[in-house]
Structure 1
């Protein structure tokens, strides 16, 4: 995980003075990110509201058409409308990103809680296991998983989820240890509360609170990684209207039909930036709550 996410989990002011924004003030960045997120959700749930055409409909006579009033984002080598395909691809790209993030957070939470609660021996074992995983870049772990289980959207989802789990586990373990040594946990211990009650009522709720922030930040990362796998031909396969697969299809024509790669790549970047902005906004508001 990135330094930003580690700071978020530890409660550090990552915004560098964001406290001055006030508890209830809505910034322009939040408004723009919220509007973009709403459009992406609409595109994922009901793409025909934004693009009524068929993303797989071909028209050889319109092949390699530049952006125009008829085709806002141009057309590809088969005459398919790229705008329609980008809108339709939001469903697959967001589904992959969200599902992979849920898998990564779930596994990370389990490993982090086990390491932080079951004693020094278990903590040592889990930490050594995480260190072995950290020795490999996350994307390399995903590639190894796909090499074993084969390419495809399902493999890409699980691969990205597994590759992000070690980072989440380390953050959650550190947060649990910090909460466990806090004053309110010591007060609960002095009052004679059972270990189980302290764990379920005090430690775990405060440990898992940053998961919403981490998950929001992680969605953007997962979408980028999934798009990278599709770009390499290991995720969604053509003619699927998935952004990474569209990038891969357009690279052959990058010098003559730049729009085939530009617009899918643009929405990958915008989605990642949007998720990061919303995650930082949620973190700031939780800190001021």
Structure 2
């Protein structure tokens, strides 16, 4: 079972699809404190990614040797690094890179997973058996190991790390999408539409695809957090973005040398990685609850 399936709650069985026109709508769940805080932090990350100079004016690569290794203070909220660069400025300016890598990797994984899952769920038992055996082989390797193998073949770098994370997450998406497709195809409202004489194309467009593609938004939200963590791990190992780039994983890698004397160099980039992943998970679960009550 993949990490994504555990987060989505779809590892053991696909969630029963809801009818296209449910007879009655239930009460929408309330917005909790965790969702509110996650939404506010997500808005901050989006603002930092789109306009970093407004959130943290300054040069993330500008050095000031006289200000090196300053602890967090009113002047430097997150402290400074070995070259006197402001950590808060670098974390804010690194938000765009981390979010872009996570989003692109998620889109790659979702796209490939959608293709494999649709082939397995729609083209009969032979294709289904073949795709499932392929997914089982891929699941025999940890996702991060698959990403490392890809980088070993194509070389390190931000682009390679992004594609590698996307390919590593694709098997989890494919299995979830395939299970959802099979569940929707065997549901009562699809059988009723078939009995009423609706064409296969109309059934596919009106009933199967809407109930299959709707959960993809939830999976994508959950997957962005996972992709950010994996991409940061690759950068930490020197296989993605490398110092002095203002990217969270690269900043973690640069700060590990001084972890004993300048803990803030690693703490704050790591904190943002954790908060981004937690916020994405909380928002994804909140969206999932609302879809089920819609």
| Match of residue 164, structure 2, among 159, 166, 190 | 159
Partner of 2:90: 85
| Match of residue 14, structure 2, among 10, 18, 24 | 10
Please list every run of 5 or more consecutive structure 2 residues that lacks an aligned counterpart in the other structure: 17-25
Partner of 1:121: 126
What is the CA–CA distance in structure 1 between the aligned matches of 2:27 and 2:193, rounded to whole Å? 32
Partner of 1:192: 197
Cα contact 2:69–2:79 (8 A) shared by 1? yes
1:169-220 Cα deviation digits (max 9, x unpaired): 0000001000000011001111112222222221121111100111101110
Partner of 1:281: 286
1:31-46 matches, within 5 Å, as 31-46=36-51
| Match of residue 30, structure 1, among 30, 35, 56 | 35
Please list every run of 5 or more consecutive structure 1 residues that lacks an aligned counterpart in the other structure: 13-20
Alignment root-mean-square deviation, CA: 1.4
Cα contact 2:147–2:161 (8 A) shared by 1? yes
What is the CA–CA distance in structure 1 between the aligned matches of 2:214 and 2:260, rounded to whole Å? 48
1:51-99 Cα deviation digits (max 9, x unpaired): 0011000001111111111111111011100000000010000000011
Q: Give the TM-score of the pair, scaled to structure 2.
A: 0.93
Give 3-state SS (helix, strand or coil) of 2:280's partner: helix
Partner of 2:22: none
What is the CA–CA distance in structure 1 between the aligned matches of 2:34 and 2:276, rounded to whole Å? 14
Partner of 2:237: 232
What is the CA–CA distance in structure 1 between the aligned matches of 2:7 and 2:57, rounded to whole Å? 40
What is the CA–CA distance in structure 1 between the aligned matches of 2:269 and 2:287, rounded to whole Å? 27
Q: Give the TM-score of the pair, scaled to structure 1.
A: 0.94
Give 3-state SS (helix, strand or coil) of 1:209's partner: helix
| Match of residue 217, structure 1, among 219, 222, 226 | 222
Matched, 1:133 2:134: no
Tell me by how many angstroms 1:22 deviates. 5.0
Cα contact 2:105–2:162 (8 A) shared by 1? yes
Q: Tell me: CA distance 1:22–1:190, structure 2 relative to 1, closer, same or farther (3 Å).
A: closer
What is the CA–CA distance in structure 2 between the aligned matches of 1:128 and 1:236, rounded to whole Å? 34
What is the CA–CA distance in structure 1 between the aligned matches of 2:144 and 2:270, rounded to whole Å? 19
Partner of 1:17: none
| Match of residue 241, structure 1, among 246, 270, 276 | 246
Tell me by how many angstroms 1:6 deviates. 4.2
Cα contact 1:11–1:287 (8 A) shared by 2? no
Paired positions, count: 281
Partner of 2:256: 251
What is the CA–CA distance in structure 1 between the aligned matches of 2:249 and 2:259, rounded to whole Å? 15
Tell me by how many angstroms 1:7 deviates. 2.6
Tell me by how many angstroms 1:29 deviates. 1.3
Partner of 1:62: 67
Which of structure 1's runs of 4+ aligned residues deviate more than 3 A?
A: none
Q: Tell me: CA distance 1:168–1:6, structure 2 relative to 1, closer, same or farther (3 Å).
A: farther
Give 3-state SS (helix, strand or coil) of 2:10's partner: helix
